[in-house]
Structure 1
Amino acid sequence: MCGIWGTFGMDGGLTPTCIKCFAAIVHRGPDAWRLEQDSREPQAVLGFQRLAIVDGLHGMQPMRLHCFPRLTLICNGEIYNCKRLRDQYNFPYETNCDVEAIIHTYKKFGIADTVNKLDGVFSFCLIDGEARKVYIARDPYGVRPLFKLHDNEKGLMAICSEAKGLMGLKQKASESSSLGQFPPGHFEVWSLLDDGKVKLDYNERYFTPGTPPRFVPYVSTEELAKLNSLYEKTAFLLEAACRKRLMSDRRIGCLLSGGLDSSLITALVVKLAKEHKLPYKIQTFAIGMGDSPDLAAARTVADYLGTEHHEVRFDENDVRQSLDNVIYHLETFDITTIRASLPMYILSKYIKENTDTTVVFSGEGADEVAQGYIYFRDAPTPVAAHEESIRLLSDIYLYDGLRADRTTSAFSLELRVPFLDIQFTHHYLNIEPKLRQPQNGVEKHLLRSSFAKSGLLPDSILWRHKEAFSDGVASVKKSLFTTISEIIAERLPEDDQQFKGLQPTSTESKYYRYVFEKSFSGQHNFTPYYWMPKWVQVSDPSARFIKHYAAT
């Protein structure tokens, strides 16, 4: 996790406004920073905020190699197959930094093949000074964030890991300019013009959820064929997804709610850490209010696995202090996302201030891939359920993926999400749709069954019912929803403010929009729709209002 920032075609090049915008993402990379103007391209300015995870000595960016001096790269990402690419094509690496693979792969194959050959998560900008081209790309599920500002009238384009680093430039752009998220699974090609401006040549989508990897897979077809059952293959691929993500020179920990997803990932990471003989015990982190059911379940998992466990209890004062900051970091006014982000934000703050863990694994993506939301019980057909999984994964970068990145990056932590591994998602999403549906009122039945004989987790956890995160962390006596509502009642201004785009549906959503507009005025496009369960008639997105929730 780092922060990238760049402008092309900006009059004046490196201006005070640029410096101020670049500073807005310092939380993404506290270890080092660089902001530079290319002498050969005076209207191109590149910035990098670094969180050192791999190759602390040579991993600084913008990256240029002696063998390709006219190529410049800024990238926020981890390329898990960097060594495999080196060995496969005899790339002469100059550093131990994984993103160097992007430069060599581009030089040999071009941009279209490069994005398909990368097994990892990334947002990058690659400048080819000789070809007079700029390339922008984002990983298949948008695990790493990227925003783009485009002003066609002024020939200006700018990119940043977060929108807050571009808002100052947006104010100086023409009224026709646009600012929004760069879509996952896409790349763009831009031309550097003689006058320093830029022009979009074309954009291309190279990935849709469920498609097979086009890189040499981490687990070979031959190795997978040796496994006897669907369950064995599922378990093996998820373990492999965790294994490749252990790449780190910093301490690794796990976010642990006590639910199936985070518990499975934690169990696999603990197992692999022992195999790899990591020189420390895996730290686990749980959060809750009062007598939260999540805290109790997470404690059971931590005791079973023997982790160095940390319990964080928060109260109404923590919510009161964090609420507005959470909305600022998230850059959204979506109801569900903000509710679920509060405890994750508070927990990330604790990790940063009280431990030496920097890389954190979590279970994000499992509900989308494995039909974990309670409303999947109401899917009319297996095909409809499959299509909903694809939709959720296509938009995860706007909701749960966004939450996971921003709450951790706010405190300079790097998140790793094995459930969004390309080989694993391809495998899982191509299993017969009926087998992936909830069975006998149990979500993710196939996933649970895949680990039923592993001994990785107690049965009480492996078969624990689905708990909405913002509900599971709350006290049984008082929900987080109620606490938030009381705080908003104190703060919401009485004036009847009008908003463009998506309209608030409640007092709570009105307050979220009010705070959002303070920092991101006019950018209602950041939240195209409120996240809501499908196939059920509810007025609130929380799972607590679905009939099956009480039945669990």
Structure 2
Amino acid sequence: MCGILAVLGCSDDSRAKRVRVNGEIYNHEELRKRLPNHKFRTGSDCDVIAHLYEEYGEDFVDMLDGMFSFVLLDTRDNSFIVARDAIGITSLYIGWGLDGSIWISSELKGLNDDCEHFESFPPGHLYSSKEGGLRRWYNPPWFSEAIPSTPYDPLVLRRAFEDAVIKRLMTDVPFGVLLSGGLDSSLVASITARHLAGTKAAKQWGAQLHSFCVGLEGSPDLKAAKEVADYLGTVHHEFHFTVQDGIDAIEDVIYHVETYDVTTIRASTPMFLMSRKIKSLGVKMVISGEGSDEIFGGYLYFHKAPNKEELHRETCHKVIEFIWHARICFPIKVESINKRFSSLIWKQIKALHQYDCLRANKSTSGWGLEARVPFLDKEFINVAMDIDPEWKMVSKFGYQIWILLLFICKNLEHQNLYSGFSLNFQSSSDSNRSKDVLRSGFLGGPLTMRSAPICQRSWLNNSASFNIY
């Protein structure tokens, strides 16, 4: 038995196969050309999934380029497969009932009442009812523990990233870009603006790009984003929120993001507030700069690494932090936690990218807004992860690889190289208000998890510095 819950996207019933999909298949036009003898019922990008299964069996998933999670049921023998995209951009969970049933949902809330046990469906994996278990379909060369040695080629990296952005311009709905004024989002906005003119989307929705930013009124983040938007010539939308708005949204953020992890909730709050306002404008899709820090060692403490080997080891330390955050929702067995290169840690390195992008996906999808992330493009990651990590370190001239990439791209000659959203409680009264909200007891409300008291204590201890993005 297969319970299909929280169904999103499109369906295809041809040839006795039924598909439920959440996501986008960017290379669907290319895939249709591989199926000359198949008759497609619609022009939907998801339409190719059932036909690829008919032609290639379960091994077709690696052909898909996009962000997706799907369930395919073959009614001829009642067998089914479940798959999730390589990086885990779209959310997906799997659960097991007491009667042996298997349940699939895009939200944890859909499984809580019916399943004895449930867990996150691992990115880059496929579940086959015929085989009765999970197997990995995504096995890129960079999964090796060996430190890569490929020299940095800016033209190759530029081409790969531009391709990642361009393919995400495939849309039939109004869209825009999220712009914080920082390096990552500015680069995404720059390339999007430059390539938008010749696309189908431009003909349908106009060639001038819309950009969106959120922050406290008068914050430097808003100023930086406005400067970049003016430089690029976008139609810029600036949204403001207050400390009280952030506090009032916490309960809803927890409900939609489905975690009590303090860092995740703080980072999700501005995205959640902004998504509501973007959707109210009729915009249904945004392109975001999520994911670059994990790939290129962009976190500030990474820059203290004395050499590339230590930079690689620092990545492992970050993964350990992720492991313990993940235990809030899903207890896992951690063996040899102090052994930097244990198999468990390397397993987590392979799934490193899913944390930030999943947070962003849940924050936006709570309002029916789709977020696309070119930094987490499968082909781009293969190129980026193959670069010698020495190039990802800050050089003696103070430049990191992304600064060099900007010079090569010549898209954006702008001074805003780094910024992020932050919400700091400037007074003890603000801090006390946040504590009062948490003590009010709503943490046991719409989403119940065993570790809520632990998260509550952590939030109270850190509430004086509420950095939410």
TM bucket by the smaller chain?
0.7 to 0.9
In structure 1, C-alpha distance between the alignment counterparts of 2:67 and 2:297, rounded to whole Å: 23
Normalised TM-score (structure 2): 0.81
Superposition RMSD in Å: 3.1
Q: Which residue of 1 aligns with 2:49?
A: 102
Per-residue deviation, 1:376: 0.7
Q: Distance in 1 between matches of 2:26 and 2:72?
A: 19
Give the whole-Å Cα distance in 1 for the aligned partners of 2:226 and 2:54. Answer: 50
User: What residue in structure 1 maps to residue 157 of structure 2?
Assistant: 234
Q: Does 1:337 align with 2:264?
A: yes
Q: 1:182 to 1:384 in 2, by over 3 A?
A: farther
Deviations 1:58-110 (A, max 9, x none): xx43x211xx1x21110101111111111134243221111111111111111
Corresponding residue of 2:248: 321
1:422 aligns with 2:422: no
State the 1:446 CA deviation.
1.2
- Is residue 384 of structure 2 the alignment partner of residue 457 of structure 1? no
Deviation per residue, 1:298-321 (Å, 9 max, x gap): 001100011110111111221122
Aligned to 2:185: 262
- Secondary structure at the counterpart of residue 92 of structure 1: coil
1:137 aligns with 2:93: no
CA contact (8 A) 1:187 1:206 kept: yes
Aligned residue in 1 for 2:358 = 402
Residues 1:356 and 2:313 are matched in the alignment: no
Counterpart of 1:400, as a letter, is D
Note if contact 2:425-2:463 (Cα within 8 Å) is conserved in structure 1. Answer: no
Structure 1: tracts of 5 or more residues without a match: 1-7, 10-43, 51-59, 171-176, 192-199, 213-227, 495-513, 532-538, 546-552
Aligned equivalents of 1:246, 1:484: Cα separation in 2: 42
Are 2:318 and 1:369 aligned? Answer: no
The alignment partner of 2:404 has SS state of helix
User: Any idea what SS the aligned residue of 1:248 has?
Assistant: coil
CA distance in 2, matches of 1:320, 1:542: 13
Map Cα deviations across residues 34-60 of structure 1 (whole Å, 9 max, x no partner). Answer: xxxxxxxxxx5666345xxxxxxxxx4
Other structure's SS at 1:110 match: helix
CA change 1:416–1:230 in 2 (3 A) is: same
Look up the equivalent residue of 1:119 and give its one-letter code. Answer: D
Matches within 5 A, 1:128-527: 128-151=74-97, 153-170=98-115, 177-191=116-130, 201-207=132-138, 211=142, 230-276=153-199, 277-278=202-203, 279-280=205-206, 281-353=208-280, 355-379=281-305, 381-386=307-312, 388=315, 391=348, 394-397=351-354, 399-440=355-396, 442=398, 445-461=400-416, 464-465=417-418, 467=419, 469-471=420-422, 474=423, 478-479=424-425, 485-493=431-439, 515-522=442-449, 524=451
For 1:430 and 1:492, locate their aligned partners in 2 and report how far apart those are by CA, in whole Å.
44
Q: Distance in 2 between matches of 1:243 and 1:470?
A: 26
State the AA in 1 paired with 2:43. Answer: N
2:18 to 72, 83, 88: 72
Letter in 1 for 2:100: G
Compute the TM-score of the two structures, normalised by the length of structure 1. Answer: 0.70
Distance 1:482 1:86, change over 3 A: farther
Q: Distance in 2 between matches of 1:392 and 1:283?
A: 35
Looking at structure 1, the residues matched to 106 and 429 of structure 2 have their Cα atoms a distance apart, in angstroms, of: 32
Contact 1:146-1:182 at 8 Å conserved across structures: yes
* C-alpha contact 2:6 2:106 (8 A) present in aligned 1: no
SS of residue in 1 equivalent to 2:382: helix
- 3-state SS, counterpart of residue 284 of structure 1: strand
- Measured in 2, the distance between the counterparts of 1:117 and 1:230 equals 26
Q: Distance in 2 between matches of 1:395 and 1:484?
A: 34
Tell me how far apart the structure 2 counterparts of residues 249 and 229 of structure 1 sit (CA, whole Å): 36
CA deviation profile, 1:262-300 (whole Å, cap 9, x unmatched)? 111011111111232444221101111132121111001
Q: Is the Cα contact below 8 Å between 1:140 and 1:208 reproduced in 2?
A: no
SS of aligned partner of 1:275: coil
Give the Cα–Cα distance (whole angstroms) in 2 for the partners of residues 441 and 335 of structure 1: 36
Alpha-carbon spacing, 1:490–1:158, altered in 2? closer, same or farther (3 Å):
same
1:127 deviation in Å? 0.8
Counterparts of 2:127 and 2:393 in 1: how far apart (Å)? Answer: 37
Deviation at 1:237, TM superposition (A): 1.0
SS at structure 2 position matched to 1:297: helix
Letter in 2 for 1:396: H
**Cα distance 1:481–1:416, how it changes in 2: closer, same or farther (>3 A)?**
farther
Structure 1 pair 208–295 and aligned structure 2 pair: CA distance change class (3 A): farther
5+ residue gaps, structure 2: 144-150, 317-345
**1:261–1:371 Cα change, 3 Å:** same
Query: 1:426-450 CA distances to partner (integer Å, 9 max, x unpaired)?
Result: 101101121122324857x112212
What secondary structure sits across from 1:294 in the alignment?
A: helix
Larger fraction in helix: 2
Q: 2:4 touches 2:105 (CA, 8 Å); kept in 1? A: no
On the 8 A contact 2:228/2:414 being kept in 1, the answer is no
> How many residues matched?
420
Structure 1: distance between partners of 2:269 and 2:277: 13
1:132-152 deviations in Å (ceiling 9; x for gaps)? 31111111110011011112x
Residue deviations 1:339-373, cap 9 Å, x none?
Answer: 111111111111112x1221100000111111111
Matched residues in 1 for 2:410 and 2:228: separation? 12
| Secondary structure of the structure 1 residue equivalent to 2:43 | coil
Matched to 2:351, the amino acid is: S
Structure 1 residues 118 and 543: alpha-carbon distance in aligned structure 2, compared to 1, 3 A threshold: farther
Q: Which amino acid aligns with 1:178?
A: H
